[in-house]
Amino acid sequence: MTSDDSTKSSGREYWDFKTQQRKNFKASYCLHAEAGPHTCRGKVVKAHTIQRATSLNAIALNGHVFKLEVNHDTLSKEGGPAPREVGIHRASTFTGLCQYHDDVTFAAVEKQAFTGSVQQCFLLGYRSILRELHKKRAAEETLPSLLKLATANSGASNPTEFIDTFAAGMRIGRQVLERVKKSWDRILIERNFDEVRTAVVFFSKCPDIMTSSAYYPVADFDGQVFDANLSRLGKTSETPSLITYSIIKSPNGGAAVFCWHRSADDICDPFIRSLVGTRPGDRLDDAMVRLAFTTSDNVFASSMWWSNLTDEALEVLNARMAHGLAPQTAFHGGELERDGIRYVDWGMVRRRLLVTVHGRPQEIID
């Protein structure tokens, strides 16, 4: 069978898969800790994971920003993936909160200026987890049509075994995140932030990119691999340490905001220390760009900044986005290490650095 024949024969399955995928990712329901028929009010909204009025608006041109993502559709395109222009009303949204829970729960980050309070850091992190869970559930529910597509594409070979392994991995990933969310749900309901850890880096200028993300760190900014966290991934009985982070606009410039539950201290504490520790010639703003492009699929950028990047920077950032999708970009541990590229200049970060570790503010000055 030629590739043309194969494409034709699987055209219908591909169409079905894409339709199902779109439908699942738009599934509307409320993920709030106290969601239910008697507590939810209003329709499920397109909830922003990045503040629209402040952060997205600050990097928009004519109400639009660049969404930077690599997926299997864009990866195969020649010349690398092109950024997609999206309106800030749609950018970073997910349909996982009802009107009431979106309004009331996140008022402290949507309606108040960011000061770096533990509550604000927690809410930014909580919303990242909700989005991630919404996405994971949608991906899992798309598996049956993915299986049909894979079967149609494979011709004589049987892809079932591969898909089964893939499906098992997805199911475990979703189950583990549901478990992580439960401990965050409890904090939200009890409004007791004693178990919350935060680290905030303030920049003197507005960042060129905004993001909201949650992930399991497997290596730090010095290339040290977290074997303990790596070994927990993909196991039903284990809960890997998860960190959430956002890059946002703040009243005096911008901020990188990290948050984690204290049960994740074993990994997140050294991870944050490696970020704020001094590496000759490296800067925190560039380190944040490396982190976002390597580990987040929810990155939005100023079109002006993206258009002015050097060819070298574009090539490296595209490779970072493709990381994990292409087999040739297997994990080696040095992903977040300094790469010598100046991507951004968000101000004299080290002199304006305030880190809160274990609830105690620590000032780190150059």
Which residues of the shown chain bind Zn ion in the complex (CB under 5 A)? 30, 32, 35, 40, 98, 101
Report yes or no: 203 and 220 within 8 Å, Cβ to Cβ. Answer: no
Least Å from the CB of residue 98 to Zn ion:
3
Nearer to Zn ion, 128 or 198 (CB): 128
Backbone phi and psi for residue 229, each to the nearest 5 degrees, phi listed first: -75, -40
Partners of residue 357 on adjacent β-strands: 360
Nearer to Zn ion, 47 or 65 (CB): 47
Backbone phi and psi for residue 181, each to the nearest 5 degrees, phi listed first: -60, -35
C-beta neighbour count of 48 within 10 angstroms = 24
Nearer to Zn ion, 32 or 64 (CB): 32
Report yes or no: 283 and 349 within 8 Å, Cβ to Cβ. Answer: yes
Nearer to Zn ion, 96 or 217 (CB): 96
Nearer to Zn ion, 105 or 145 (CB): 105
Radius of gyration for the chain, computed over Cα atoms and rounded to the nearest angstrom: 21
Least Å from the CB of residue 256 to Zn ion:
29
Least Å from the CB of residue 60 to Zn ion:
28
Least Å from the CB of residue 100 to Zn ion:
6
Give CA torsion, residues 65, 113, 96, 90, to 10 deg.
-20
Least Å from the CB of residue 39 to Zn ion:
6
Nearer to Zn ion, 114 or 126 (CB): 126
Q: Give kind and range of the element (H or E) at residue 210.
A: strand 209-215
Identify which of 159, 155, 134 has the alpha carbon closest to the alpha carbon of residue 146: 159
Nearer to Zn ion, 102 or 208 (CB): 102
Least Å from the CB of residue 166 to Zn ion:
32
Q: Give me the helices (H) in 88-159, please.
A: 99-105, 107-110, 118-141, 143-154
Least Å from the CB of residue 30 to Zn ion:
3
3-state secondary structure of 308: coil
Least Å from the CB of residue 76 to Zn ion:
39
Nearer to Zn ion, 49 or 239 (CB): 49
Report yes or no: 10 and 153 within 8 Å, Cβ to Cβ. Answer: yes
Rounded Cα–Cα distance for residues 257 and 117 (Å) = 10
Residue 230 structure tokens: 């790596």
Enter the DSSP assignment of 77: S
